[in-house]
Every structure is written in C-alpha cells, then in structure tokens.
Structure 1
Amino acid sequence: MRIFTKLLISGTFCICPLLSAAQDAAQDSNPRFGGPDAVESQLEEDRLTWNERRNQWKDKYGFGVSFDYTSVILTANETFSDSTGMGGIARLYGAWDLVGEGAGALVWKFEHRHAYGDTSPFDFSLGQMGYVGLQEPPFNDSDFRTQNLYWRQRFDGGRSTLIAGVLDVTDYVDAFALASPWLHFMNFAFSTGSAAIGLPNDAAVGVAYGTMLNDNIYVIGGITDTNGDPSRPFEGFDNFFSDNEYFKSVEIGWTTSQDRIIFDNTHLTLWHKDRQDELGVASGWGVAFSYSRYLNENYMPFIRGAYTDEGGSLLQKSLSVGMGRQMEAFSGLLGVGINWGEPNEDTFGPGLSDQYAVEAFYRIPLGKRFAVTADVQYIKDPALNPDESSLWMMNGRVRFAF
C-alpha cells in the first residue's frame, strides 16, 4: 500500500494504518470518524513528520498537534480578465484525548486563508472562467477563522462516534478517499456531493453520529446550523437554537470489512436544507451516491454522482467517474476523473448548457514534510461563458507539514 495508503486517508470512518507501534495499530483497527480532511485523519498522517518529543506527547498525554501551509496557483488559457488565481492557507490543528484511552477528545482547527493577488482560487472558476463550479474551494481570502472546535466521543470500542460543536460537514457527508483539496483533485466536482449538495456555511454548529451496524454496514447522521460564520463561530450556538435553519443528512454505507472502509466503500447520502431567509437561499433536498474500490493494492476506481432539488447548490445533476493509482515514479499518486454536470437552475437560472470537466493530477512527496502536485484540466462548455466552447487549466499546489 505504501504511499497510496498514506495519501488515501479517508472514508466516512477513517482507518489510517500508518503507525508501527502495537498500541497504535490496535487503535487503528477501530473505525475513525471523518474523511481525509478531518483533523484526526490528518494527524495520523502527520505523525510520520513528528519528532520524538511530539510523539511522546501523543503517546503519554494523548495530545497531538500539527501545522501545515499549502499554496495553490490556478491558470486558464481564456478568462474574463485575470488569468491566474493564487492563494494559501496556514492551519493549526490538533486533538487532545481527555477521557479514557482515546474515547473522548477535544478537537480543533484554526486557519488563516489569504489570496496572493486580486483573485483567489475560490473565486477563479465562477468569476474568471464562467465555469459553474469551484477549484480548491477552501482557498479563499477570508483571513483568520475557526474551522473546527468540537468534542469527539467514541463508544463500543470505537465502532460508534459522536461529535458535537463547531463542525465541518464535509468531514462526514459523502466522504471520499480522493476528495481532499490539500492532497487530491482540485475540481470540487470530484469532492463532496460532486458539487450537487447545498452545503451549509463553514463553522456549522451541530452534532453528528456514526456507527457500524455490523461488520459491513454503517450509518451516519447529522444536523447543523446552516448560517455559520468561521470568524464568529460561537454565534452559531445561538443561531442553532433561535434561527432553526438546519442542514440534515443521513448516510448508509457498505464496506467489505471494517478495516477496509478506507479502501472499499459504497454509500448513499440523503440530505435536506432549510431555507436561509437572510441570504434568500431556497430550501432543498437531494441524494448522492458513491462507489470506490481499492484493487490489487494499487488502483482505486470510483463512480460518484448526485441529484438536488433547489437548495443553492452549484449543480443539480452531476456524475463523476475516474481512478486513482499509485505510481512507481517518485512514489507518486496519479488521479484521473471525468465529470458531467448540469447547473442548478434555481441558483443560476434556466437554459444553461451542461458542462464537462476532465482532470488529471500527479502528487509527488519530496521527503516527509513537503509534497508537490501538478494538475491539468479541460473544461467543455463553461455555462456562464458562452463565448468559449472549451478552456484549459494548468495548476500547481505545494504543501509543507510541520
């Protein structure tokens, strides 16, 4: 599994078989709640970069903390004005086991998001390309923010997990092994809901619960406030009980075995979002499905799609197919995907053309702390740019982990 295992830190519960100590291996035999960007999933990978003292903190006191910095540059051959979108994110994140042996923990993630010029990666697709979609959506210009601050409690030997507090719903809704904007595809069409879920704002106050029903079937459900503000996260607690505008989801999934959730995963996700009165966003609902399988410890084909009825999503119908593959050259990870998407007419109006996107990325780890990703995309029929029948993108990403 080698580097592929290290990069595919994912699944609706996450198994991260990265640690050699017997105690850590035993803990990894339990399902871990969260997708590839969930704090505890990322910490498991980051332990490879920690010095002896930081590993001792984790083993002796249950305290783990990491810092990373990631930069992204997007370019396109035809744009409205700005041909590049650039930005970076600094993240400080960690978890502290305070109750039992890993049963109860305080989990946090603080970020500083910033653009390098006039156009951030978040704004580049819609604002400069006329493509109904997002590229590297976390990379905006929102400055300091609280992304996560919640309590995590495990039950039944780790087979069930409850999280409550300031959540990021993309950590548990329609999670997928190759969906991390820090590690994998840049186009949001290959991420949560295939760009066809009306997600709530970040820093959503709420609660989510996941459990294994048997050796193969799991279920996850959650409810959060839709009007979170990462710059004022504690206001979300008042919003949750006073505004009564919620995002609800339930997911049922199947895996070949508990320890293969990270690799072999099929799930169906149902969601509903209340109307956001202040923003004027209509209520909506939808369904998403996902299939991925890790074959011969080398290939991961996937099929993912979604349908939504209103709810403020980017797309109302979306279908993505592709594959990830571990490569011998530079121990890299190759990902290739194709997406078809129908823009949400409730969000953008009727009569827009269907869009097609093809993406290929190659991620190369250069030592334990540094990785470089090269990315190329072909966009066919960008719906908000009728003057262009196709666009090409050449993109890059670098990540430092400390």
Structure 2
Amino acid sequence: MMKHCVTCLATCCLLGTGALAQGLGGPSSVQADLEPGDGLTDPQYRSDFPNNIAPGYFAWKERLAKDHGFRFNLDYLALGQSSNADIGTGNASGGIARLYGNWQATENGSLTFKIENRHAYGSVAPQNFGFDGGALSITGTAFNDNGTMLTNLFWTQRAADASWTFQIGQIDVTDFVDVYGLVSPYTAFQNLAFNTNPTINAPNPGLAIAGGFQLGPNFYATASLADANADPASPDLDVFSDGDLFKSVEIGYTSGFDRVYFDNIHMTFWHSDEASDGSRAEDYGAAFSGAWFINNTWMPFLRAGTSKGTAALYEKSVSAGVGYFARNTDLAGIGLNWAEANGISGSQKTIEAFYRFSISPGLQITPSIQYIDDPLLDSSQSSITLFGLRARVVF
C-alpha cells in the first residue's frame, strides 16, 4: 500500500480525491522531500538519527505541521566523485544546503518555498565532472557551484475534488516535466541520463505557471509556461519584457492517481524560444516515459527523447533500467543509456548503478558507479569509469 505521500506527483500531475495534497510535483520536489520513505507505508529504519539527538526540535516541527499547516526541512547533501579519465582533475566534490517547506494556507491553497546554496569543495563541481573528463555527460546532476538560489516560491490552487491544479510563481519545471519514480538526483540516480530527460532543454528555476487536469479515472494532461532565461541566483520578472519562453505539454496514463509516479506512462512535448540576445538557439522535441511499480518492489522503466538538439544536452536519447525498493527503505538502481548529440559523430553509452542505504528518515548514504563508453568529447578514450559517494542528512 502507498500512503498519501504519493502526492509528490511525479509527473507534473494531479492526484485523485483525498490524495491531491500539494499540487504539481515529483520525486525531486519539495512535496516529496518533506515525506520520508519514498511514500512507502510503515518503513523500517536502522536508526532514528537525527531525531534522537534533538527530540524537542522535531516535536516542535510536528506541532507546526499539525496546528498551523506549516512543514519545513533543513537538509544538507554532499557528493564526491572520482574517475580514471586520462584528462581533467580526476575528482570532484560539492554540496547543497537547502531550506524548504510548504504552508497549507487554505483548504485548497498552499505556498511552497525552497532556498538553497550549491557549492563546490574544489575546482570542479560534480555536475561538470563528466565534461572535465572528456564525456558529454552530467554525472552529478544539481551538484554545481551556482551559489545561493531561490528555486521555489509559488502558490498552488487546486479544486476541492482534485480535478485540477494550478501553480504560479518561482517554479523549477524539472520537478514535474517528464519525471518518474527514480528521477530525483537527491535520492536516486545521479547522471542526467536517468533524471529529467537529457534531450529536454529545461530552463533554470524561474517565473512560471503550470497546471494539470484529470481526464477521467486514469488519464491526465499537464502544461507549463516558464521563463527560458531564468536565473534563480537573481530572480526577476524580465520574462514579461523579453518573451523568451519554455513551454511543455504532457499527456499521461496512471493506474490510479494515488500511484501517479509509481505507475505512469506519458508523452511530453516541449519548445524553448531562441534567446533574444542570441546566447541560446531555439529548441524543441518530444519525450516518452514508461515506469511501473511491480509488487511495490520493482520499478522497471523505459525512457526516450528526441529534439532539434541545438541547445539540449543530447539530440537523441534512450534509457532503460530498474529500481529495487528493498528493506529499511533502501533503494538499488541500474540504468543504461544510449545518446547522440547534435554536431558530434558517434554515440555515447552510459551505465549507472547505485545502492542507497537509508540509515534513518534523516540520513542516507549512496555509493554509485558510472561507466561511460565512447565519451563524445574525447575520442582518444574508449571509456571512463566514475565512482561516487553521496550523503544526505535531514533536520
């Protein structure tokens, strides 16, 4: 059984009656990060850390949620990676400090916020480590050195019967565009090939509007309109003056709206305007995603995308793999990706495998390995192997 934390809405979607708690979102969204245990009922853990060292603080958080509808977390994530690449630094590391939460202001309306600081420990951040070693690959998604950013500050309004959801404000469209149950770089795969589809030229968090609608008991449609030039380190309203926009539409099927990112098949169509200053070319494309949670244990997935390829990382991409939800809410995953890039001959193949040890609701340790065959940026290397270790602590 899944509890209502499935309202994380992995596919920019809305849930059914009784489950639409917070609106649009996915496994990497604030809604998901506020819920422990991947939405699994009665999870078992190895420890109660850090709750056991500050019981008064966590009791206070629970009272805030119960009495005032205000929930928040502080968390810190760290990622270190090393590789055997013939070029580059050979290692990269960085961290992310985040404050995020949600205030249920009215019965059907809520305010979501997230402030974060992303930083590198050394000269190269994990997000750029693949490029540094000669691969056209983002090997540490989200672990960049962009500094302090406002990534979420938006209002959600939803129908009392959960038939529609609307959001407006500072939004990260990668929280809901073309996502599935293993999309989060904070809790699952680290390589962009298995996160948001790498053929989609998704913008940085910025001013956006988004909505979702139920189309019967199993089908849904969603859409978004966002600032294609957004800079969360310096948020503004310039989208209204320059008109450079990112647009997306998604049509999907789910076994039930209480399992929307566990059982989901969808198509996503998107378009990004050329930047007015010429710094970014027009791009557009389509993506397919299918994932199904078998016996609440196995999640096989197949994802593919194609784009004009002028601004997205890849022009064509196909990914397949499986996740295994183990005891103690541990999570194992393995994925394989094939990709081609615009203007570069040949194809690049990527394999990633990881095992997330869930020590407690507030502590996770995730070792991983990535193997990149025929790296597109350095044809002199036949392959690159990367080892990674990610940690997350939640207060």
Query: How far apart are 1:167 and its partner, in Å?
Result: 0.8
One-letter code of the match for 2:144? Answer: N
One-letter code of the match for 1:231? Answer: A
1:138-149 counterparts in 2 under 5 A?
138-149=142-153
Residue in 2 aligned with 1:218? Answer: 220
Does the 8 Å contact 2:7/2:19 carry over to 1?
no
Question: C-alpha distance in 2, partners of 1:6/1:184?
Answer: 17
Question: C-alpha distance in 2, partners of 1:384/1:263?
Answer: 35
Query: How far apart are 1:199 and its partner, in Å?
Result: 1.3
One-letter code of the match for 1:232? Answer: S
Query: How far apart are 1:136 and its partner, in Å?
Result: 2.1
1:3-402 counterparts in 2 under 5 A?
11-12=10-11, 27-28=18-19, 32-45=23-36, 51-99=58-106, 101=107, 103-126=108-131, 128-193=132-197, 195-200=198-203, 202-233=204-235, 235=236, 237=237, 239-328=238-327, 331-343=329-341, 345=342, 350-402=343-395
State the Cα RMSD in Å.
2.4
Does the 8 Å contact 2:118/2:147 carry over to 1?
yes
Question: C-alpha distance in 1, partners of 2:5/2:255?
Answer: 20
Greater relative contact order, per chain length (Cα 8 Å cut-off, separation 6+): 2
One-letter code of the match for 1:336? Answer: I
One-letter code of the match for 1:316? Answer: E
Does the 8 Å contact 2:13/2:212 carry over to 1?
no
Question: C-alpha distance in 2, partners of 1:253/1:279?
Answer: 34
Query: How far apart are 1:278 and its partner, in Å?
Result: 2.4
- Unaligned runs of 5+ residues in structure 2 are 44-50, 52-56
Task: Percent identity, please.
Answer: 35
One-letter code of the match for 1:70? Answer: L
Residue in 2 aligned with 1:22? Answer: none
| Shift in CA distance, 351/88, structure 1 to aligned 2, threshold 3 Å | closer
TM-score (norm 1): 0.89
Does the 8 Å contact 2:242/2:276 carry over to 1?
no
Query: How far apart are 1:364 and its partner, in Å?
Result: 0.5
Question: C-alpha distance in 2, partners of 1:265/1:94?
Answer: 26
| Shift in CA distance, 79/90, structure 1 to aligned 2, threshold 3 Å | farther
Give the secondary structure class of the aligned counterpart of 2:62.
helix
| Shift in CA distance, 174/284, structure 1 to aligned 2, threshold 3 Å | same
Residue in 2 aligned with 1:21? Answer: none
Question: C-alpha distance in 1, partners of 2:247/2:347?
Answer: 28
Question: C-alpha distance in 2, partners of 1:51/1:351?
Answer: 52
- Unaligned runs of 5+ residues in structure 1 are 17-24
TM-score (norm 2): 0.90
One-letter code of the match for 1:380? Answer: D
| Shift in CA distance, 341/310, structure 1 to aligned 2, threshold 3 Å | closer
Does the 8 Å contact 2:85/2:133 carry over to 1?
yes
Deviations 1:168-214 (A, max 9, x none): 01011101110111000011001112x111111x2221100011111
Does the 8 Å contact 1:271/1:285 carry over to 2?
yes
Query: How far apart are 1:7 and its partner, in Å?
Result: 10
Question: C-alpha distance in 1, partners of 2:5/2:29?
Answer: 14
Give the secondary structure class of the aligned counterpart of 2:308.
strand
Does the 8 Å contact 1:10/1:177 carry over to 2?
no
Does the 8 Å contact 1:111/1:145 carry over to 2?
yes
Question: C-alpha distance in 2, partners of 1:275/1:351?
Answer: 21
Deviations 1:266-325 (A, max 9, x none): 000000110013252111110001000011221100000100013400100000000001
Query: How far apart are 1:327 and its partner, in Å?
Result: 2.7
Give the secondary structure class of the aligned counterpart of 1:123.
helix
Does the 8 Å contact 2:369/2:388 carry over to 1?
yes
One-letter code of the match for 2:137? Answer: G
One-letter code of the match for 1:212? Answer: Q
Question: C-alpha distance in 1, partners of 2:142/2:384?
Answer: 22
Deviations 1:37-80 (A, max 9, x none): 11122113389968222112112211111110000011111142
Query: How far apart are 1:219 and its partner, in Å?
Result: 0.6
Question: C-alpha distance in 2, partners of 1:151/1:9?
Answer: 16
Question: C-alpha distance in 2, partners of 1:150/1:180?
Answer: 20
Question: C-alpha distance in 2, partners of 1:382/1:5?
Answer: 42
Residue in 1 aligned with 2:48? Answer: none
Question: C-alpha distance in 1, partners of 2:22/2:60?
Answer: 27
Give the paired residue count: 379
Question: C-alpha distance in 2, partners of 1:162/1:33?
Answer: 8
